[in-house]
Structure 1
Amino acid sequence: MTESDFERRIRRLESIEEIRNLKARYFRCVDLRLWSEFADLFTDDLQVNFAESTSDPKGKSEFVASVARHFVTGYSVHHGHVPEIEIVDDTHATGIWPMYDRVESPADSDYVSHEGWGHYTESYRRCDDGQWRIYRSSLTRIRREILPKCEEAVSL
């Protein structure tokens, strides 16, 4: 029996919704510092390109450790909006996410406090367990404003 056009369309829409939820978990995990859950959002062969990164991480382990190190204390708010998601095939997709973030780092942090706007450009892969994960991510800023450090060190 062959799959109907209707079934293909439904499967495509389900994949888009799963990828939206994946990226929503990304933002929540960073802001709430849920590093174990954050690490599960990526494939083991993750490639990242965040030009502003101070550590230029290579691969999943270095990226997760780098993000965790930057967000030990302080405040952060990350938002992604109205993504353009394209399902390439049953196991591959791409997305572009307009984004906003505000990070307030304490005075003793090496990480720059900022407010920024830009776009995440990503590629996704459906893994053997059926879950979509991020395997390529780059961040391009339209604007980044440097903010003063926050006065208190907040730890979640």
Structure 2
Amino acid sequence: MTEAEKLAAASEIHALKARYFRTMDMKDWAGLEATFAPDLVADFRESTGQQDESQLTHGAAAYVAKLAPILQHVQTVHHGHMPEIWIEGPDHATGIWAMEDKLWVQDGSPLPFKWMHGYGHYHERYVRVGGDWRIQEIRLSRIRVEVG
């Protein structure tokens, strides 16, 4: 790949991650699912600050079906910062994003807290599907989680 092609691919991945954050916060579940490759591996076992084996999910549809009811009664704000993107070939890339999220839990939510403020990193693998970049693997590691 030329440097121009690598820069274009990195720019497309930046836009993909922006759609991921926006669709999650707007509860656009179809839009969120479209950011993932169908064979997604979603590893959120460390996302609460503790190891939770139930938070490993295979498949984009299964992941969104699991996430949507949890966040139904939660207002969320997610931000991604300082991406490090490595283009490994015309159809494969990896990346790490610093992240911050805030959650405000409303009545009716299954979550055991009223609010959460988290910091960490997304570790991702990307693949081109039908000419468009998609998240194929996503893992969230936390640095700090504050809950109340």
Give your verdict on TM over 0.5. Answer: yes
1:81 to 2:81 alignment: yes
Q: Decide which structure has greater strand share.
A: 2
1:118 to 2:112 alignment: no
The worse-fitting range, judged by mean Cα deviation, of 19-28 and 58-67 is 58-67
Report the equivalent of 1:44.
38
Distance 1:21 1:68 in 2: 22
Which TM-score applies when normalising by structure 1? Answer: 0.84
1:68 to 2:68 alignment: yes
1:49, distance to aligned residue in structure 2 (A): 0.7
Distance 1:144 1:138 in 2: 16
1:34 aligned residue (28, 33, 38) = 28
Task: Count the aligned residue pairs.
Answer: 140
Larger Rg: 1
Give identity over the alignment, percent.
Answer: 39
1:13 to 2:7 alignment: yes
Unaligned segments of structure 1, at least 5 residues: 1-6, 148-156
SS of 1:12 mapped into structure 2: helix
Report the equivalent of 1:94.
94
Say whether the 8 Å CA contact 2:124–2:135 is kept in structure 1.
yes
Q: Alignment RMSD, CA only?
A: 1.5
Deviation sequence 1:108-136 (CA, Å, 0-9, x none)? 31124310000000000011x21000000
1:58, distance to aligned residue in structure 2 (A): 2.8
